[in-house]
Chains A and B, each alone.
Chain A
Amino acid sequence: GAGVSQSPSNKVTEKGKDVELRCDPISGHTALYWYRQRLGQGLEFLIYFQGNSAPDKSGLPSDRFSAERTGESVSTLTIQRTQQEDSAVYLCASRSGTGRVQETQYFGPGTRLLVL
């Protein structure tokens, strides 16, 4: 597709259940980000993938959060044993990753997660 896509668009789950969120980046983009946006807040960095390099996981809030990406393709963000404070919009963005300073991120529409 022409842009970054995410699925599902909305997810309602019960506390304690696991959820998996998917991101399809723009074809050819080597860099991929996951962010969390709580209601009325800015974006909180979660994790960054660049090609086959080790990801920067420094933003993951707890060991219940994990993310995977194979090569330059789809990424999945998994939240285990969900808690109510995990309720937020999870945004994915991709970037060409060539290292040019003019690069920008292209964002997906997000997945709205509600934990009851």
Chain B
Amino acid sequence: KQEVTQIPAALSVPEGENLVLNCSFTDSAIYNLQWFRQDPGKGLTSLLLIQSSQREQTSGRLNASLDKSSGRSTLYIAASQPGDSATYLCAVTSGTYKYIFGTGTRLKVLA
């Protein structure tokens, strides 16, 4: 059974700092991995999607890497801003439609 773990559970950093969020999964036979952002009282917004054949994806100040063999992904946020404060969730798919989510990392960026 696939299990997804995210470390740390919560993180508080000063504005401007670069930071790394971690996601690990127990079954390396994944189809893709996706990072989402969840703001309080709102649904999830997709940030980056990495196919199993890819090593990383970048969007603006965000960079996500995938090491499928070791069951790990990292989300790197450069020059963090207070607007980045949210919960970040990673999810993996082992088929084409069912996603298994981690419990998230709650990020707070202090002005």
Q: Is the CB of B97 within 8 A of A40?
A: no
The residue that A56 contacts in the complex, of B32, B43, B45, B98, with Cβ under 8 A, is: B98
Contacts of B51 in A (CB 8 A): 101-102
Say what secondary structure dominates the interface of chain B: strand
Contacts of A41 in B (CB 8 A): 103
Contacts of A106 in B (CB 8 A): 46
Q: Is B31 positioned at the interface, with any CB of A under 8 Å from its CB?
A: yes
Size range of the chain B interface in the assembly: 20 to 34
Segment from A12-20, A75-83, A107-115 that makes contact with B: A107-115
Q: A42-B4, A42-B89 are known contacts. Are A109 and B101 too (CB-CB below 8 A)?
A: no
Q: Which 6 A-B pairs have the closest CB atoms?
A: A107-B43, A42-B101, A43-B101, A104-B46, A42-B103, A107-B44
**Chain B residues in contact with chain A, CB under 8 A?**
4, 31-32, 34, 41-46, 49, 51, 89, 91, 96-104
